[in-house]
Amino acid sequence: MKNYDDVIIIGGGPTGLFASFYAGLRDMTVKIIEAKSTLGGKVHVYPEKLIWDIGGQTPILGADFIRQTIKQGLTFDPTVCCEEEVLSIRKEAQHFIVTTNRTAHYSKAVIITAGYGIIQPKSIGLEGEERFKKTNLFYTVPSIQQFAGQRVLLSGGGQSAVDWANTLLHVTDDVTVVYRRQEMSGHEQEIQQLMNSKATVLLNTSIQQLQGEECITSVVVEGEQTKQRQVIETDAVIINHGYERNLKLLEDSNLHLKMHEDYGILGNVFGETSEPGIFAAGDALNYEGKLHLIVGCYQDAVHAVNSAKQYIDPLSEKHEMVSSHNKKLKEKNEKIYATLQ
C-alpha cells in the first residue's frame, strides 16, 4: 500500500526548511527531497560570508545560518532524503508521484523550493582545470583562513565575487581581481570599497591559461580590447562566474507549469502555480512584486504551505495561529523555559 505524505518539499535550502517547519506547525506530514548530500542549499557556497539582511538577526556567518536553519526545519521530524535528484513529477488522479534517481515518492501536494534548479559553479573550461581542482583552483571557499598570506587571483565581477575579494583582504594583502567587463555588477558601496583597497583590479580582462604542474603557479590574462597578455604569479585561483542551472525535473514531467519570462516558475504571492496541487516558493517562484532576498523566502514558504493545506483540506484554517499560541509548541516551550531558570 502506498504511503502518501501530505506534502513533498523539493529542495532543502532555507526556503524548503522553513516550509518544512511551518508545515509541521500545521500538522502536515512532510518529506524533504534534496539533491545534495546535505541540507542548507546555496548558502554552502559562502559559509564564511556574513549575512546582514535577515530580520531580527545580527550579522551571521553563512555556516551558522545553515546550522540554525536546518535545526529549525527539522523541528517536527520530517522525512529527509538527501542525494536524491528529482527526475520528474507526475500527477495521478489527485496525488503526485515524485520520481528520483533512487525511488518514487508519493504525496498529496508538492512544494518546489529548488531555487533556480540544481546548481553547479560554471566551469572556466581551460586546460588543466580538473587537475588543479585537486590543489589550488577553487569554485567555493569553505574557509577564508586557508588563503592567509597567499597571492590570490579571483575571476569574476558580480556581487559574490566582490564580496569574496573584500573578505580576502582581511587575511592577505595580495589579491588580484580580473573581470571581462568594464564595470562590476555588485553593490556600489562594496565595489567602491574594493576599488579603494590594496587589491589590484583588472577590468576588461579574462583568464586565458592556467600554468603549473601539480598546482597553479601563474595565470595568463588578456585584455578584452587590447589583446595584450600578462603573466600573474599566484598561490591560489578562485573562479566566481555564476552557476549552471538544471530544471530537468520540470522538463521531464507531465505537468503544465507556466514559466516566468525571466526565470523561475510563474505563480502568485500565495505560491500557487498553473498546476493545482503544485506550489512553489523562494527563488523557484516568480511573480510581480517578488522579493529576491532570503527574508522573502520565508513569506513565500508560509504562503505555499497555507495554500497546500487548503488544497488538501479545503475546510482547514487559511492560516496557522502565531507560535506563542500553538499547542504543538507548548511542550517544547516548557523545556526551553526550564533551561532558562
Binding-site positions for FAD read 15, 34, 42, 46, 86, 119, 283, 324
Three-class secondary structure of residue 303 per DSSP: helix
The DSSP element (H or E) to which 91 belongs, if any, is strand 86-92
In the block, which residue shows the cell 534548479?
117
Classify residue 259 by its DSSP letter. B
- Mark the binding-site residues, compressed into ranges: 15, 34, 42, 46, 86, 119, 283, 324
Q: How far is CA 160 from CA 13, 138, 140, 145, 152, in A?
A: 18, 14, 11, 18, 16
Contact predicate 157/186, CB 8 Å: yes
Burial class (CB in 10 A: 0-12, 13-18, 19+), 208: exposed
In the block, which residue shows the cell 567587463?
181
CA–CA separation, 319 and 303 (whole Å): 9
Contact predicate 178/157, CB 8 Å: no
CA–CA separation, 34 and 66 (whole Å): 15
Half-sphere exposure in the Cβ direction for 303 (13 Å, CA): 19
Contact predicate 66/138, CB 8 Å: no
Half-sphere exposure in the Cβ direction for 205 (13 Å, CA): 20
Q: Tell me the three cell numbers of residue 244.
A: 549552471
